[in-house]
């Protein structure tokens, strides 16, 4: 503890010293905090526990599995690159690796309920809260930081009730819980939020496999669930940003962007849409070591990587659309929101220094996975 206090004092002195030197660049956010599911997870599941740690995951980049549910980068990496920021460090590694770009708390399989059994959004927020309380980041860091949240379907995928009524009720519960968690993040000092709408559940390969990956499932219940979730969440985000002073929200229309890419693949140099690159039980082998899947040679031509997740090329297409009009709410596009509409950009007179790698901080182990 004493070491930590001394460390803090040194940092405060440093902040004080450098705050006389400030330029426009210095006021930009340098921290990205990420919460949610496998679309965002940068490798938080322990090695050995998840398919993302087995071949052929990571075959395109870096060439070996690193815990990302993709052939290469996932949404977090592509989004960070689009914002000119480094990929945030997975929370699992936060003790050993520099966290000067932020921390990625997302865990594959999570949602706001216990979904598929991995730590949900609220647990991830608890990890962030303990870092904030340990003084790992300055209040200014957190104020200027970007928060990205991907809670895009696991709660629906995990629904095991028998009634459609109960399934539909989730479209009230899930946005409510996302809202509550965002308010907790706000109370911890976060102000700038990027939130994703759900993925088009009806077009995921796990659903379209029954048609040989030829068409999205036509199901009015699923259509209504997607529309209801996205609408209620949008409503809540709008109310939230009105009520919470200085908060700013960008709502990514992921259902729309993914459908757009699936309908216009050639615009993105993709040749395969519904058929994933890795078909079957991706990442699994039988007792004799024979793969229970087949894998394509050119993942960069496929939109989907496995039965649920886009390829890196898919993510580039999706995130690229957020810089076009009409794929985001509450701001014209990602770049217009990031460039001008965000409060931190108008604050020109504050020093900005990252307090990273606190020696006393110890990440809580991901229990129960
Ligand atoms: C962090 O470093 C320590 C000491 O080198 C090591 O024992 C531990 O396994 C590392 N943790 C991770 C998650 O790599
Ligand atoms: C259904 O899901 C609930 C909540 O996630 C869980 O407590 C329950 O054990 C599940 N039931 C079955 C039969 O899987
Ligand atoms: C769905 O919500 C309604 C209204 O809150 C409630 O009356 C009903 O029991 C819920 N259905 C299920 C299956 O949970
Ligand atoms: C539509 O999806 C719901 C929820 O998964 C399912 O219960 C229902 O049977 C599906 N309807 C059709 C016509 O496939
Ligand atoms: C948003 O606020 C309006 C006006 O206060 C209210 O009528 C509406 O129910 C709120 N929506 C949600 C989803 O909370
Ligand atoms: C909102 O921003 C203004 C200007 O930077 C600041 O004075 C005020 O304390 C902020 N309020 C909250 C609740 O963040
Ligand atoms: C598609 O490929 C062409 C030819 O290689 C290239 O010029 C173009 O930039 C690519 N477009 C995208 C969106 O990657």
Q: Is 166 in the pocket of ligand 3 (CB under 6 A)?
A: yes
Q: Which ligand is nearest the CA of 179, by number?
A: 5
Of all residues in the chain, what percent are helix, strand and coil, respectively (each to 5)?
40, 10, 45
Pairing of strands 278-285, 291-295: antiparallel
Ligand 6 geometric centre to CA of 99 (Å): 26
Identify the active-site residue in 77, 155, 306, 358. Answer: 306
- Residue range 328-340, pLDDT digits in tens: 999 889 988 887 5
Burial of 103 (0-12, 13-18, 19+ CB in 10 A): buried
Identify the active-site residue in 38, 150, 199, 257. Answer: 38
Q: Which DSSP string do the residues of 221-247 spell out, in sequence order? A: HHHHHHHHHHHHHHHHHHHHHHHSTT-
CA pair distance 307, 327, nearest whole angstrom: 24
CATH code 3.40.50.1110 for 30-338? yes
Domain ranges of the chain: 30-338
Under DSSP, is residue 171 helix (H, G, I), strand (E, B) or coil? helix
Structure tokens at 76: 């977090």
Active-site residue flag, 16: no
| Residues constituting the chain | 369
pTM: 0.87
Active-site residue flag, 302: no
- The CA radius of gyration of the chain, in Å to the nearest whole number, is 20
Q: Is 245 in the pocket of ligand 6 (CB under 6 A)?
A: yes
* Residue 41: HSE in the Cβ half-sphere, 13 Å Cα cutoff: 30
Q: Is 362 in the pocket of ligand 1 (CB under 6 A)?
A: no
What ligand 4 atom has the least distance to the C-alpha of 222? 2
Residue nearest to atom 12 of ligand 1 (CA): 93
pLDDT at residue 367 in the model: 26
- Residue range 286-329, pLDDT digits in tens: 999 999 999 999 999 999 999 999 999 999 999 999 999 999 99
Q: Which ligand is nearest the CA of 233, by number?
A: 5
pLDDT at residue 316 in the model: 97
**For the chain, which residues score pLDDT lower than 50?**
1-25, 341-369
Task: Tell me how far CA of residue 206 lies from CA of 2, 41, 211, 279, in angstroms.
Answer: 53, 20, 10, 10
pLDDT at residue 327 in the model: 96
């Amino acid at each position: 503890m004493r070491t930590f206090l001394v460390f803090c004092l040194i940092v405060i002195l440093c902040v004080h010293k450098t705050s006389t030197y400030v330029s426009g660049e210095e006021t930009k956010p340098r921290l990205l905090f990420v919460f949610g599911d496998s679309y965002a997870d940068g490798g938080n599941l322990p090695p050995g526990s998840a398919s993302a740690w087995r071949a052929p995951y990571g075959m395109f980049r870096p060439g070996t599995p690193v815990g990302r549910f993709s052939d290469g980068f996932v949404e977090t990496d592509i989004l960070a690159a689009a914002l000119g920021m480094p990929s945030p460090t997975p929370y699992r590694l936060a003790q050993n690796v520099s966290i000067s770009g932020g921390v990625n708390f997302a865990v594959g399989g999570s949602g706001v309920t216990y979904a598929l059994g991995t730590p949900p959004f609220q647990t991830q927020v608890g990890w962030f809260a303990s870092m904030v309380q340990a003084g790992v980041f300055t209040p200014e860091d957190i104020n200027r930081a970007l928060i990205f949240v991907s809670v895009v379907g696991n709660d629906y995928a995990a629904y095991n009730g028998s009634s459609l009524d109960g399934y539909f009720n989730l479209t009230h519960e899930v946005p409510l819980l996302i809202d509550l968690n965002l308010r907790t993040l706000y109370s911890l000092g976060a102000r700038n939020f990027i939130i994703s709408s759900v993925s088009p559940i009806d077009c995921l390969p796990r659903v379209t496999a029954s048609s040989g990956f030829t068409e999205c499932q036509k199901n009015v219940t699923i259509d209504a669930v997607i529309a209801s979730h996205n609408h209620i969440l949008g409503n809540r985000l709008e109310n939230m940003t009105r009520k919470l002073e200085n908060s700013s929200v960008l709502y990514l229309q992921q259902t729309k962007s993914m459908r757009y890419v699936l309908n216009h693949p050639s615009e993105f140099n993709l040749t395969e849409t519904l058929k994933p690159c890795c078909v079957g039980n991706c990442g699994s082998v039988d007792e004799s070591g024979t793969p229970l899947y087949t894998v394509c040679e050119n993942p960069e031509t496929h939109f989907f990587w496995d039965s649920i997740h886009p390829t890196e090329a898919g993510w580039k297409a999706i995130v690229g659309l957020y810089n076009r009009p009409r794929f985001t709410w509450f701001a014209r596009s990602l770049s217009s929101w990031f460039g001008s509409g965000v409060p931190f950009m108008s604050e020109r007179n504050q020093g900005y220094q990252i307090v990273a790698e606190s020696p006393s901080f110890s990440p809580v182990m991901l229990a129960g996975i």
